[in-house]
Structure 1
Amino acid sequence: MVDDEQFSYYDSKIKRVIPKTEWIEKSVEQQYWDQQTQDLRGVQQIFKANIGIAMQHFNQTQGDHTFQNMLGCEWDDDTGTTEGFNSHGFDGEDFLVFDMKNTRWISPSPHGSITTQKWNNNQAGLEHLKSSLIQICVERLKKFVSYRRSTLERAVAPEVSLLQKDPSSPVVCHVTGFFPRGIMVTWQRKGEDLYDDVALGETVPNEDGTFQTTSRLTVKDWQTEDYTCNVQHMSLENDIVKRVIEQEIRRNQDIKCK
């Protein structure tokens, strides 16, 4: 992920790394994906071993368990400051945390003491990890940001639809396919902004790197009063205005399966 945007993905079923954004797919050669796939297949085996070790430390012999590793780096392009982080978790709780300042592993859990002692005895490994986080990782981050910059400068207009499960349900204003993320979705009644009976949904990413959001209007008089969903976005010269009328609303029975 770069700035909370997922740009690549791997799992143990597909066993390969795939691009999740247009900007990374266009910016790197196939060799990058081949190398990432090879690396993560190795990491997959390490995870399999680590979850078994963690279960032993926590005196677990069976059941479903989760082992997690979160590592990365941060770069402030205004000040030039950088930071790195690496932590391991078991069943949702911190298990091992890398202390960048003191170049050592610490464990918030007493079950991690054996591992921290072992890893902290490997000074060369500690130094290599630290340099990887604050040098190699930051170099990659800067490169990815430059790749993404051209994509970030684009502006993609949203598509707006009015949806409703049935005539008595709330009317949903569905806005999708827009970029960048910032957008304003409001409701009006007879040209006046409406705040009551309105619920704005979360803005979430689409598979192609664009975004979508929803806003719900809960009123019973939409067939007799003048309601509109209004969308403002930097890609638009004029706001998109959708009148809440029968002809504009799509319902479950209107959507045909292909």
Structure 2
Amino acid sequence: MRVSVIQMNQGSDKAANLDQARRLIESAIAADRPGLVTLPETWTNLGGGRESRRAAAEILPEPGGTGGAAYELLRGLARAHGITVHGGSIIEDGGEKLFNTTLVFGPDGAEIARYRKIHLFDITAPDGTGYKESALYGGGSDLAFFEAGGIRFACTICYDVRFPELYQELRRRGAEAILVPSNFTLQTGKDHWEALLRARAIDTQCWILAAASYGTYEERGAVRSVYGHSLVADPWGHVVAKCSDGIGWATARIDTATTQRVRAGMPLEEHRDAARAWRAKAAS
């Protein structure tokens, strides 16, 4: 199965972001004919402050219902091109709180997965810049999976990648590929982005698909930078496709034979079962 990770330079103009996403997806489809495309984290809005985020937020419909502009764009692209569209994440209007939410649509345009980001980005960067996602967003609590091209995919978002126990649980529940749409900061990305993604590929023996935002954006009068370098890594941890600087996409082929070979040669899940049994015995 061919997959394309889309790299965007979105800002606070939602209409312009939707147009950029549509153009990049359609260009990737025309050039590489993927069976699945994936967008970055909060591709409908980056920057502009609280008011901009709330203005970009959408109330999500019940499955089959009519949604907002981003929801309908994703659904329409999936149906029009007969592919699976993983919508990175958009800002969901949950009432009192917003949510950082992934939506996935199958080739017939039906919604097949929905995931709210579990781990919220409340950190201080090396330069002293503070990020407090929990001030505006609520955290999710449920895992999400979907099937495409005979492959079982699992959903995560950005900061989730720093929590290997989450990824091991996804593997335990049958994941073969894991999506990581992101807005990684330039400071953390240059040191940790590829290392973390390759580590999660290695310790889960899953394909990792990480579509990321690139470039600069304005946040309450300050200019911030995101790292980009969207990539696909195989279950051995090799980066098999990667975006250059700027907007664009990278395409790779998920080969299930590679997954099977890696897992057969190094049966980590069997060894984890032994470790779980040891821990249970030690605790009794």
Q: What's the TM-score bracket when you normalise by the shorter of the two chains?
A: under 0.3
Give the TM-score normalised by structure 2.
0.21
More contact order relative to length (CA 8 Å, sep ≥ 6): 2
Rg bigger for which structure?
A: 1
The structure where helix makes up a greater share of residues is 2
